[in-house]
Structure 1
Amino acid sequence: MLLTLRTTHVPATDLGYLLAKNPARAQSFDLGFGTAHVFYPEADENACTAALLLDVDPVGLVRGRGHGDSGALDQYVNDRPYAASSFLSVALSRVLRSAMAGISRERAELAATPIPLEARLAVLPVRGGDAVLRRLFEPLGYEVEAAPQPLDPAHPEWGDSRYFTVTLRATVRLADLLTHLYVLVPVMDGAKHYWVGDEEVEKLLRHGEGWLAAHPDRTLIAARYLKRRRSLVDQALARLVEPEPDVAEEGAVEAAVEGAEAAEPSAASVRDAEEGALESRISLHQQRLEKVMEVLRESGAARVLDLGCGEGRLLRLLVAEPRFTEIVGMDVSHRALEVAADRLKLDRMAPRVRDRLRLIHGALTYRDRRLAGYDAAAVVEVIEHLDAARLAAFERVLWEYARPGTVVLTTPNAEYNVRWPSLPAGRFRHKDHRFEWTRAEFQAWADGVCARFGYTLRFLPVGPVDEEVGAPTQMAVFARADTPVAENAGSREGDG
């Protein structure tokens, strides 16, 4: 099992400082399941290559574990000694621990700097082939070169195996490269040599910090890394996309505090500035919830769904009003539902209140009989978290199968983003957003929903309205039509 790391950063021998391994001598490390060797095939001013050779003992792995004569042959004859796998991840974490953490006593500044790096894996098993390999590494900025290994060089007609020689190139921090390899090598292999439990979720989140939440294939990564253990995968994904302040709104808080510090005020005034910014942020969110509540009251609904309920902020308002006799909060995240139950004090509610509220786990892209027959549904700041390819499934689940009398849906207005000074051009408000629509895009989509499923439509602004770019949040209110679809498709009122 061989991994090489090469740089042309000058002086290239600084790679030795970053890895904390001297290019002038080879080193060996006992890992229990085998021995790791670190050496440098080349090391000069212009180019330096470090090699990590992992010698896995397949017999030693099963010796003394009670397999005896009944042990399967593949316990002893397998690809583990030469194919990159979770054994390599363990070797990286033990042998190159400081480099993975971005720590270098002699070259601290360089450790934090992106440099040209090339990683080569001599034999990497890839479930799904070249396409999966590229799906996982290219979004992280790597140039991917993959050469498939034939099943048998003597018989090319047999085709290629699932093994590749893989070269990755990018200008990146060494710590980031090692972390990506640590997580994604076992994902490629689709297997791990040890038991996967709750601690693996923590490892995935720790090593995925800063990149995994925004990766377009994070679900695939989590599923394979956690060996498709559903409860662990759900937990990991929930924590990856746990709601947090919008980038723009976070920036407002930071700007308020930084501005106060620049003027050297008292600690109390810094606190007041921070609290004022927070109140401004909460005000927009509160306006959104109050607007949703206003529409739900006007609709006359008694039985209400909160789809994508998150931590239960809207549920708290719904429960406070006796007119809503049955309330269901649904979310794809087990963790979010646990937080909602805790914040709502579900276990301490009076029985007459508790009987009106139910929390359920589910996804908005799968038909669910539990959602049918309700008067109204609220979908607050949810659809922008769905992949665009899944919107059609979401539409059918909600407007065709569940078919509530009223649907209240909010989403960010992309045009308003230019009014956030702290939001860089081209960035979304939240790292988990898959898209953000302009008012025209939102209206076109909503009109299509009405035409397909027989609803009428009106648009409402949420938050302060800017004459040029509109309000920060846009709302669509869908009402189920009692007359034929053709006569009502696309009708709407309001200023959009």
Structure 2
Amino acid sequence: MFLTLGTDLSGMDAPASDFGFLLHKNPARPQAIDVTGGAAHVFYPEATADRCTVAVLLEIDPIGLVKAGRGKATEGFTLGQYVNDRPYAASSLLAVALGKLFRTAMNGRCDARPELAARAIPLDVHVPALPCRGGAELAERLFAPLGWTVDARPVPLDPEIPGWGDSRYVDLRLTGVLRLADALNHLYVVLPVLDDAKHYWVGPDEVDKLVRAGEGWLAAHPDKALISRRYLAHRRYLADAALERLAEVDGFALADEPAEEDGITPSPATDGVARSEGAPAAGAVSLAVERRTTVAGVLRELGARRIADVGCGEGALVGELLKDPMVGELIATDVSVRSLLAAKRRLHYDDLPDRQRDRLKFLQSSVTYADDRLAGLDAVVLMEVVEHVDPPRLPALAHSVFHAARPAAAVITTPNSEYNIRFPSLPAGTYRHPDHRFEWTRAEFQTWSHQTATRYGYEVEFRPVGPDDPEVGPPTQLALFRREVAN
């Protein structure tokens, strides 16, 4: 079982051999790890300034796989547990090996080359023997919306006897310009989906793995339902749970729900797949994803190293900020203990490396009460929080943030109610979420922000998040407060 991943890092002002830093694998030293039923080897067929290619060779012993308790007794007959394609074809075994070999790279972290890890780079992938139930067309359908150029060619049963036709395997080549972390997560999820079989028991913990690996791209995929169902071994209750989690994490609504705080109008389904209400067309980005990446970008612009995410919910923004090695201290607060526990589970807090865990702190705290633990930070973020506060409590919110905590900067986002008419599924006069106490127009938000800034000695500027409609503005509005420096 074999896979290669290569790059020339063209346009990156770095030698191609720096690819080894991103993968956390030294090109000069072949490495191997034990995996279920065998071993995974990593080596570099080439590693020069012009070109670098990493190869993963997975050696699987079918007998060892069965002895480990991971053989599938339902593979037609008992001998099928020992005589099968597991040693030769890409499958969930390869996906698990990729997750073990490149776990840090999949998280997007590279202390040696952080700027390179954050950038899209030219990549090419080759998987010469990929089981693909659905054929080359399905491989194209699943990888193309993720930004890959796909060349999937059926492998004949016997090249010498064309009359026998094609096998169920394809020779897959992918090329594209993507972040390495995204590329690895695509492979981790989609390879076993195309095989449509897993070598191990699929339980509820697999939902966490799918949501984590699919962060930032799976909710926007036109075939997310198919991917979820196959990845979770066609267990309906697990697939439903995964789709619900994706809706919560990335801001999409399921087919029987109104659009919730993302404002993405579904395009007509031209591929024969009915898209969920609120899901974007292929290649589009969820507003929830754009919102948190915009906020993260503002914080990088500020150079903020000590940050509090107030009202963190299930930790979507926290997960984004943890990817930035420049963030030295990150405080996640919420009034709900349940939300904090959910954020910890989502981020796999207990499994984080010590250095990551030391940077992150969870606190139960209310945004309307002063909390000395939040005082003096570089930045405080309230992302989609103020609209959940009763209007009479807004002065208390402003006092706790801008007087008691008094950060150097504050970033606040909130829905733009003028944009609501662009939501086909949102009835007139209703809010985007049942817990919203209000939704401001641009003028209302700017008035409140200017008054608050003047009262507490801050300057404020406003930025759009999402498409800036010439008539009604952006779906989300962002205010950046900076503390005035005394003369």
Q: TM tier, shorter chain?
A: 0.5 to 0.7
What secondary structure, in the 3-state scheme, does the structure 1 residue paired with 2:45 have? Answer: strand
> In 2 relative to 1, CA 426–149 (structure 1 residues): closer, same or farther, beyond 3 Å?
farther
- 1:25 shift after superposition: 2.2
Aligned to 2:479: none
Listed as ranges, the gaps of 5+ residues in structure 1 are: 294-309, 315-419, 428-467, 474-496
What secondary structure, in the 3-state scheme, does the structure 2 residue paired with 1:53 have? Answer: strand
> In 2 relative to 1, CA 234–111 (structure 1 residues): closer, same or farther, beyond 3 Å?
same
Are the counterparts in 2 of residues 2 and 51 from structure 1 also a CA contact under 8 Å? yes
Return the alpha-carbon distance in structure 2 between the equivalents of residues 137 and 279 of structure 1. Answer: 32
2:34 paired with 1:30? yes
After TM superposition, the score normalised by the length of structure 2 is 0.55
Aligned to 1:478: none
- 1:105 shift after superposition: 2.6
What secondary structure, in the 3-state scheme, does the structure 1 residue paired with 2:16 have? Answer: coil
Return the alpha-carbon distance in structure 2 between the equivalents of residues 32 and 276 of structure 1. Answer: 47
After TM superposition, the score normalised by the length of structure 1 is 0.54
Are the counterparts in 2 of residues 251 and 422 from structure 1 also a CA contact under 8 Å? no
Deviations 1:459-482 (A, max 9, x none): xxxxxxxxx958999xxxxxxxxx
Listed as ranges, the gaps of 5+ residues in structure 2 are: 252-259, 264-286, 303-377, 380-397, 437-461, 476-487
What secondary structure, in the 3-state scheme, does the structure 1 residue paired with 2:88 have? Answer: coil
Alignment partner for residue 170 of structure 2, among 164, 169, 189? 164
Aligned to 2:146: 140
Aligned to 2:85: 79
2:38 paired with 1:60? no
- 1:107 shift after superposition: 1.4
Return the alpha-carbon distance in structure 2 between the equivalents of residues 276 and 103 of structure 1. Answer: 27
Deviations 1:402-423 (A, max 9, x none): xxxxxxxxxxxxxxxxxx9624
Are the counterparts in 2 of residues 212 and 218 from structure 1 also a CA contact under 8 Å? yes
> In 2 relative to 1, CA 61–292 (structure 1 residues): closer, same or farther, beyond 3 Å?
closer
Percent sequence identity over aligned pairs:
49
- 1:106 shift after superposition: 1.6
Are the counterparts in 1 of residues 155 and 171 from structure 2 also a CA contact under 8 Å? yes
Corresponding letter in the other structure for 1:16: G
Are the counterparts in 2 of residues 125 and 164 from structure 1 also a CA contact under 8 Å? yes
What secondary structure, in the 3-state scheme, does the structure 2 residue paired with 1:13 have? Answer: helix
More helix by share: 1
- Residue pairs, 1:408-423, within 5 angstroms: 422-423=464-465
- 1:147 shift after superposition: 1.9
Are the counterparts in 2 of residues 183 and 208 from structure 1 also a CA contact under 8 Å? yes
Name whichever of 123-132 and 93-102 sits farther off: 93-102
- 1:292 shift after superposition: 7.0
Structure 1 runs of 4+ off > 3 angstroms? 64-67, 246-255, 265-285, 288-293, 310-314, 423-427, 468-473
- Residue pairs, 1:121-270, within 5 angstroms: 121-242=127-248, 244-246=260-262, 268-269=401-402
Aligned to 2:95: 89
Are the counterparts in 1 of residues 291 and 466 from structure 2 also a CA contact under 8 Å? no
Return the alpha-carbon distance in structure 2 between the equivalents of residues 202 and 78 of structure 1. Answer: 29
- 1:135 shift after superposition: 0.8
- 1:425 shift after superposition: 3.8
- 1:8 shift after superposition: 0.7
Aligned to 1:46: 50
- 1:97 shift after superposition: 1.4
2:111 paired with 1:105? yes
What secondary structure, in the 3-state scheme, does the structure 2 residue paired with 1:422 have? Answer: strand
Structure of greater Rg: 1
Corresponding letter in the other structure for 2:132: V
Aligned to 1:13: 17
Return the alpha-carbon distance in structure 2 between the equivalents of residues 153 and 48 of structure 1. Answer: 32
Aligned residue pair count: 305
Deviations 1:281-319 (A, max 9, x none): 59979xx778479xxxxxxxxxxxxxxxx98669xxxxx
**How large is the RMSD of aligned CA atoms in angstroms?**
4.1
- 1:245 shift after superposition: 2.5
- 1:246 shift after superposition: 3.4
Are the counterparts in 2 of residues 223 and 229 from structure 1 also a CA contact under 8 Å? yes
- 1:160 shift after superposition: 0.6
> In 2 relative to 1, CA 63–71 (structure 1 residues): closer, same or farther, beyond 3 Å?
farther
Return the alpha-carbon distance in structure 2 between the equivalents of residues 165 and 38 of structure 1. Answer: 21
- 1:228 shift after superposition: 1.0
Aligned to 1:455: none
